Structure 1
Amino acid sequence: MQKKNDIVFISGFSTLQLDKFTEDSSFFEWLKRINSNQTTICSICTGAFLLAKSGLLNNKECTTHWKLLKKLKKDFPLLKTQDNTLFTK
């Protein structure tokens, strides 16, 4: 069980695989649970799509690989997706 001061990294992946993750909601429930425990969650590149799907990025600044910024904005309109940005907190 993750707890405060733990760090979880969500790596990048092919967004074509996103549908495989949505079939099982237990991953997204786990993300929400560890977030409530004040675990630090870091996504890299397209990992932002998983955090967005979980709802953890709603109304927060975020970014992803430049080739997929439009898709992230379109698929998740509640995000404050940043262009020309390498990192957000």
Structure 2
Amino acid sequence: MIDIILDVIIVAFALFLSFISWIAYKKSGMKSIFFLLLAFLLFGIKKTLENLHIIAEVGEGTLEIATTFLELAILLMFFIAVVKRD
């Protein structure tokens, strides 16, 4: 039960960071902040997918592939955000 509560807090925090990044992107227009926004959103989606088996009958193999792909995309977004010059 505590793990579900922590996961909900993590998803909420990822969405909060996405919102803050969106505001910063709108003010500055920096592409690197946009990639941070995408990374935070993808992280929230990944965490939600990890807990999808609680809500619906979904094969764990499918979820593992999807979450692994999202982890790769998140790392790529963070990398682009760090090396991107505006």
TM-score, length of structure 2 as denominator length: 0.28
Larger relative strand fraction: 1
Higher RCO by CA contacts (8 Å cutoff, separation 6 or greater): 2
Which one has a bigger Cα radius of gyration?
2
Larger relative helix fraction: 2
